[in-house]
Amino acid sequence: MEENDAIDPDYQKGFNEGYVFAKYLPELSEKLSKAELKSSRGIGFQDGRKEFITAQVKDKFPDWLKGNRTNSDKAVPGKDKSRSIEPDK
């Protein structure tokens, strides 16, 4: 089972580099990702850049689009009839 879960070290190194380059050097990462990269490190670089861009887009979504439809910090008023609606004196 471990053989199937093992990630190529070159791919992982490229993935991490692509993520960091996209974060700190976006122009350079865009140019590098457009190159015809056939090695596992190059493919990892492209995938890392895509992952960073996807994460950035998801962070800009409102909560209701992220799937967080239940906000526990919002207080929902009760519907009982005994609550008082008198002004403060």
Q: CB–CB of 39/10 below 8 Å?
A: yes
Q: Average model confidence (pLDDT) for the chain? A: 81
Amino acid 1: pLDDT:
40
Helix or strand (DSSP H, E) at 54: helix 40-60
Q: What is the tens place of the pLDDT at every residue in 52-73?
A: 999 988 877 777 776 655 655 5
Q: How far from the centroid of its chain's Cα atoms is residue 22's Cα?
A: 13
pLDDT for 9 equals 94
At 18, is the pLDDT very low, low, confident or very high (cuts 50, 70, 90)? very high
